[in-house]
């Protein structure tokens, strides 16, 4: 159970203060003048469009390269774009990877690539060398077998891990449902497609798509324009634009994007993730929206009022008022090549999945049918003003704006007049945009979570007194049957599983004879030594985690209190979290769990080719799942999910190699998850019946 008390995410709960709304419609304040510096632009013979912006405020320069290809359908080699981008920047025809990394580090510079873009930045005194290395890496990358295999293995590991990740599965299936598998936005990478990719395919992909005729290069900062112009021509002038139009990837992709089918009705689409502690909820529909559209600004304001930030309606309803989730948001996209998405989303505990979904529907319906207030409109505009002005201070923003103007064929004054156009949006404009883009009867309600806990309530949701159609999909977005509850093995209960475990590790009488227990585990991560020490009494528990001998965190749980200490700082845990933790007190927690009515047997599963029985203890803020070997009765895995306001954090611990200590079997090995990493922990000390000081629990 050690993993339950490690790496728990601490979130600060805020209290929102509400003032009486002024329902009068104020006159809009005049929009401030935006001094968007237009770049000095030129186009090279190979088609590369270059934009230079001279800014001497700081002695730094940033380099942004973007290839504006239409979305690429990768088909049975899906994932090749990610793989190609992962290899780029790892050495070039002039320097190997180590030499590139060492020189970049020495200069304090940055450089990165994807298959369709590149970025670099440096101090201005190193600019010429940085852009030289950048051009060499972009135009003459090394595609070596070693880097190919390394990046491929990383992506394969990511694919494997994502199959258990509720958020990853949710986003995948949402895209499949919206666009279809034959659209670049709907296809996804699989183990099978990744394994088909060979090194020669990545080279062909690069040669087909990394071309100057669709490319934009923006350089901003402490530069001399004339010198930089000559330097760019020298470094990028030989970049050829003879794209292999007969390559595998160009067929069915460039300028041949299949327009996704329109959504004709409203439906609830459920993806069953039996081990999920949370439900991912998405309200989505496809829209035709371009940055050049006249109602683009109205759509932005409507989305901001609905759900674009912590001051929005969705956030205030679902988090602040109902307490269903840590946050709730909406977003609206634009796309010059295909349909974009409108989305409203939240992540909540499974007990309130249906309630949270109903509130999202209510808010979408409300903004479509009832005009927003003058105060809401004014605040939304003010928020845009503040964010826009701050964003203009960042070179990356200027680069993106310059590219957007060129890519989307916008007026050169587009961003100079952006705020004035935002300021012109009226209450009626907001309602018109909401009705046009936030579609209520042509939408997909996608819920990804634990089917056994959410399906029944979702099947009873009605809109305008009509039940909503419910459909079921697997993790790849294929229509499937309603998941059936697994048959419970005859005679197996949570109590019998726990009893078998207690018998296997020493027997109830032996375990009850222990008055205290100390367990100390040690591991190593990134060269640092990690030691975790548990101290247990019947009604008290403490866990101390140290790194290289220095105490990092201490957690204490008793019948009366629960807190975490980091250095001199002490934080009491919420009362409902404390109540969940009390369920797991005890020298051997299973002794108390055996008679706890909240413990449920959830089925027989397979874990790493071992048949296991699974039990769950679901609390208000923390849920736990334990797996026990069917044959030996020993516990082999613990999964703990803390859920503060819908923000989940899951920790997993694989345990094994039990050894006898004075007639009691204890696991001597733990593979402990620590965020995205895992650490192998070894049991280095066991103490029975030690006397503890009161200070141990303060």
10-residue block means of pLDDT along the chain (698 residues)? 35 28 45 72 95 93 95 94 95 95 96 96 97 97 95 92 90 96 94 96 94 94 96 95 58 61 89 88 96 97 95 94 90 94 93 95 97 96 89 84 92 91 96 96 94 92 91 96 79 94 96 94 88 92 91 91 89 88 91 91 87 89 91 93 67 92 95 72 94 76
CB count in 10 Å sphere of residue 513? 13
- Determine contact, residues 338/638, Cβ cutoff 8 Å: no
Q: Where are the alpha helices (DSSP H) in 259-373?
A: 296-307, 313-315, 353-369
Q: Cβ distance 405 to 418 under 8 Å?
A: no
C-alpha 406: how far from chain center = 31
> Alpha-carbon distance 419 to 29, whole Å?
11
DSSP sequence for 186-255: T----HHHHHH--HHHHHHHHHHH--GGGEEEEEEES--HHHHHHHHHHHHTT------TTSTTTTTTTT
- Dihedral of the alpha carbons of 608, 613, 617, 618, in degrees to the nearest 10: 70
pLDDT at res. 437: 97
Q: Six-digit token pair at 589?
A: 């927690």
pLDDT score recorded for residue 645:
53
The bridge status of strand 60-67 relative to strand 635-644 is: unpaired
How far is residue 94's CA from residue 113's CA, in Å, rounded to a whole number? 17
As a whole number of angstroms, the distance between CA 71 and CA 363 comes to: 33
Is residue 267 exposed (0-12), middle (13-18) or buried (19+ Cβ within 10 Å)?
A: middle
pLDDT value of position 452? 86
The secondary structure of residue 96, as a DSSP letter, is -
Q: Is the pTM of this model over 0.75?
A: yes
What's the pLDDT score for residue 34? Answer: 66
């Amino acid at each position: 159970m050690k993993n339950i008390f490690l790496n728990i995410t601490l979130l600060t709960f805020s209290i929102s203060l509400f003032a009486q709304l002024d329902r009068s419609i104020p006159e809009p304040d005049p929009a401030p003048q935006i001094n968007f510096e237009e770049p000095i632009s030129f186009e090279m013979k190979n088609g590369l469009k270059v934009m230079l912006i001279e800014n001497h405020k700081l002695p730094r320069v940033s380099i942004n390269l973007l290839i504006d290809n239409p979305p690429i359908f990768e088909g049975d080699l899906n994932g090749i774009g990610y793989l190609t981008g992962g290899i780029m920047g790892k050495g070039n025809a002039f320097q190997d990877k180590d030499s590139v990394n060492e020189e970049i580090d020495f200069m304090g510079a940055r450089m990165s690539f994807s298959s369709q873009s590149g970025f670099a930045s440096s101090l201005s005194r190193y600019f010429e060398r940085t852009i030289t290395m950048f051009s060499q890496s972009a135009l003459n990358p090394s595609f070596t077998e070693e880097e190919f295999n390394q990046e491929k293995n990383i992506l394969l590991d990511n694919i494997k891990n994502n199959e258990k990740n509720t958020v990853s599965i949710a986003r995948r299936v949402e895209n499949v449902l919206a666009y279809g598998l034959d659209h670049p936005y709907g296809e996804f990478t699989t183990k099978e497609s990744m394994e088909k990719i060979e090194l020669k395919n990545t080279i062909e992909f690069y040669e087909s798509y990394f071309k100057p005729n669709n490319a934009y290069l923006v350089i901003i900062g402490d530069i001399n324009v004339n010198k930089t112009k000559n330097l760019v021509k020298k470094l990028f002038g030989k970049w050829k634009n003879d794209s292999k139009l007969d390559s595998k990837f160009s067929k069915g992709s460039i300028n041949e994007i299949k327009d996704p089918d329109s959504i004709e009705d409203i439906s609830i689409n459920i993806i069953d993730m039996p081990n999920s502690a949370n439900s991912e909820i998405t309200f989505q529909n496809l829209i035709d929206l371009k940055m050049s559209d006249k109602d683009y600004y109205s759509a932005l304001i409507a989305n901001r009022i609905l759900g674009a930030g912590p001051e929005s309606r969705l956030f205030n309803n679902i988090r602040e008022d109902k307490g269903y989730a840590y946050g709730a948001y909406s977003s609206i996209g634009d796309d010059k090549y295909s349909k974009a998405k409108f989305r409203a989303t939240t992540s909540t505990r499974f007990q309130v999945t249906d309630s949270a979904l109903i509130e999202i529907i209510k808010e979408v319906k409300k903004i479509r049918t009832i005009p927003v207030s003058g105060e809401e409109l004014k605040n939304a505009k003010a928020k845009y003003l503040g964010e826009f002005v701050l964003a203009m201070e960042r070179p990356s923003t200027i680069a993106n704006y310059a590219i957007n103007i060129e890519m989307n064929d916008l007026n050169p004054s587009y961003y100079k007049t952006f705020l004035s156009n935002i300021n012109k949006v009226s209450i009626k404009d907001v309602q018109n945009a909401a009705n046009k883009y936030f579609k209520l009867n042509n939408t997909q309600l996608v819920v990804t979570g634990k089917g056994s806990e959410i399906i029944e309530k979702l099947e009873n949701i009605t809109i305008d007194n009509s039940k909503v159609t419910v459909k079921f999909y697997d993790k790849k977005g294929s229509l499937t049957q309603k998941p059936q509850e697994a048959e419970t093995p005859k005679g197996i209960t949570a109590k019998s599983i726990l009893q078998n475990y207690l018998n296997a590790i020493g027997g109830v009488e032996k375990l009850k004879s222990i008055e205290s227990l100390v367990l100390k585990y040690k591991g190593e991560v990134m060269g640092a030594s990690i030691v975790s020490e548990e101290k247990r009494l019947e009604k008290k528990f403490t866990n101390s985690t140290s790194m290289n001998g220095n105490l990092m965190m201490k957690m204490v749980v008793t019948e009366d209190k629960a807190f975490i200490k980091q250095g001199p700082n002490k934080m009491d845990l919420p009362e409902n979290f404390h109540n969940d933790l009390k369920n797991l007190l005890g020298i051997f927690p299973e002794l108390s769990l055996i008679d706890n009515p909240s413990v449920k047997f959830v089925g027989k599963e397979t874990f790493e080719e071992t048949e296991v029985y699974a039990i769950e203890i679901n609390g208000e803020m923390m849920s736990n799942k334990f797996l026990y070997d069917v044959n030996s009765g020993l516990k082999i895995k613990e999964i703990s999910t803390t859920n503060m306001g819908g923000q989940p954090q899951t920790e997993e611990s694989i345990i094994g190699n039990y050894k006898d200590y004075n007639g009691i079997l204890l696991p001597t090995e733990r593979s402990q998850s620590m965020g995205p990493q895992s650490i192998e922990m070894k049991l280095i000390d066991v103490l029975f019946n030690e006397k503890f000081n009161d200070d141990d629990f303060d």
